[in-house]
Amino acid sequence: MSTINIDWNAIRPLNGSRAAGFEELCAQLGRAESPPGSRFERKGAPDAGVECYAILGDSSEWGWQAKYIDGFGDSQWSQLDASEGV
């Protein structure tokens, strides 16, 4: 099994922001992974943590939340803790 190395610092910025570029990438992946027959919805800013979601045929929902960080410390843990349950 080969390993893929990704340089997340090289992600293409969107409107001057790597975080926005990462959220866009995640939303595109979410749309691609949505089950057939589901309805895919994008959220706008502010998004309360959820970038996009899919409404499935049984009315259940799958949601995607993206958080781009370029380092990990106490501040990032606080951001993740604040996002729980969103």
pLDDT tens digits for range 21-61: 999 999 999 999 999 999 999 987 766 678 899 999 999 99
What does the pLDDT read at residue 86?
Answer: 53
Residue 1, in any domain of the structure: no
61-64/39-42 β-pairing: unpaired
Of 30, 37, 86, 32, the C-alpha closest to 62 is 30
Residue 3, in any domain of the structure: no
What does the pLDDT read at residue 8?
Answer: 85
Q: How many domains does the chain have?
A: 1
What does the pLDDT read at residue 85?
Answer: 56
Residue 72, in any domain of the structure: yes
Kindly report the average pLDDT of the chain as a whole number: 86
Domain that holds residue 18: 10-83
Residue 5, in any domain of the structure: no
Three-state SS at 8: helix
